[in-house]
Amino acid sequence: VGDPKALLLTLVALGCAGRPKPIADKTQQPIEVAVTVDDLPRHDSGRPPPEIAKTLLDAFARHRIRQVYGFVNGKKLQDHPEDRAVLEAWLAAGHPLGNHTWAHGDIAKIPLDEYLAGIDRNEPLLSELQPSGRKVFRYPFLREGVTVETRRAVRAHLATRGYRIAEVTIDPFDWAYNPAYIRCTDISRADDAAALRASLLSEARAKLRWANAEARVIVGRPIRHVLLLHLGTIDADTIEDMLTDYERLGVRWISFDEAMTDPVYAGDPDVADEGMFLFQLFDAKGVTPPPPPLPPSALLKVICRPS
């Protein structure tokens, strides 16, 4: 990477030429999207998590977005008891909480028994916070099993415990921008921070276009989508623009329950280690999708580092 900032600004300029235009659709149907947020009560330490949560929750209220599942890792609350305010604010705003395992374990790296125990260990906290809530599970790293056998074992365990699985179809990789964004804001590099926000927004729009187009290819019709965000610093600083962009592109917000009525989520692609749900659907049919847009990762490594 030569001059990271010049490169980033070029990338951003390529990705966001003016106000986003609606995604063309002969039927004029809106793109239906449910919103979910991972890594409650703490995703990063860029600023106090209750502040980040308040910013996100206020934006969801302004845009009338309902039933935004927040997926919880209990260990983070054990490490930072002051973050309990995040979970209480989430519920007070009328949004439910889901299980993201106790310690955000990676099924590719820890034994199956430990992974399953991590699901169960998170349950007392969740049932204490929302005694009558439905049980919903989000896989950390969106990894469902390195082998089909592991995948089936986790699914069997989740079924025994009564969980619905919260798959993801729109994944803007906000988490990848966050460390760089926090570095830039920490040293008051406002231009670089603004460029990173613009880059994430550009990627989020491109990911929506990709998911909308590729779902039609592999399912044969439009589907109800699930968007993944995180309780991150850059999320707080882009949420208003991201939601507005999506609405201009033709998104209609739906609840998680509405998304789950799409029959596509009743099926199990039953494939090993394919991550995000649309990739699983492609893999199950032996088809390779065109690559989705990705963050400028080389640049994110170097920007706002001491030179």
Give me the residues that bind Zn ion (CB under 5 A), please: 38-39, 140
29-46 burial, b at 16+ Cβ within 10 Å, e below that, comes to ebbbbbbbbbbbbbbbeb
Neighbour-count burial of 63, counting CB atoms closer than 10 A to its CB (0-12 exposed, 13-18 middle, 19+ buried): middle
Cα distance from N-terminal residue to C-terminal residue, the chain: 13
Tokens 């640049």: give the residue.
299
- Shorter beta-carbon distance to Zn ion: residue 74 or 140: 140
Residue 141 to residue 38: CA distance in whole angstroms = 10
Alpha-carbon span 227 to 253, nearest angstrom: 10
Nearest partner of 177 among 260, 225, 222, 237, judged by Cα: 237
Instruction: Provide the minimum distance between the beta carbon of 177 and Zn ion in the complex, in angstroms, as a whole number.
Output: 15
The CB-of-38 to Zn ion minimum distance in angstroms stands at 4
Closer to Zn ion by Cβ: residue 138 or 224: 138
- 46 or 140: whose CB is closer to Zn ion? 140
Nearer to Zn ion, 39 or 167 (CB): 39
Residue type, 231: L
Least distance (Å) from Zn ion to the CB of residue 228? 9
Positive or negative, the CA dihedral 89, 90, 92, 97 is: negative
Q: Nearer Cβ to Zn ion, position 140 or 295?
A: 140
- Closest distance of CB 9 from Zn ion, Å: 30
Taking the complex as a whole, the smallest distance from the CB of residue 100 to Zn ion amounts, in Å, to 6
Q: What are phi and psi for residue 40, nearest 5 degrees?
A: -80, 145
Closest to Zn ion by CB, 65 vs 228, is: 228
- CB 178 to Zn ion: min, Å: 12
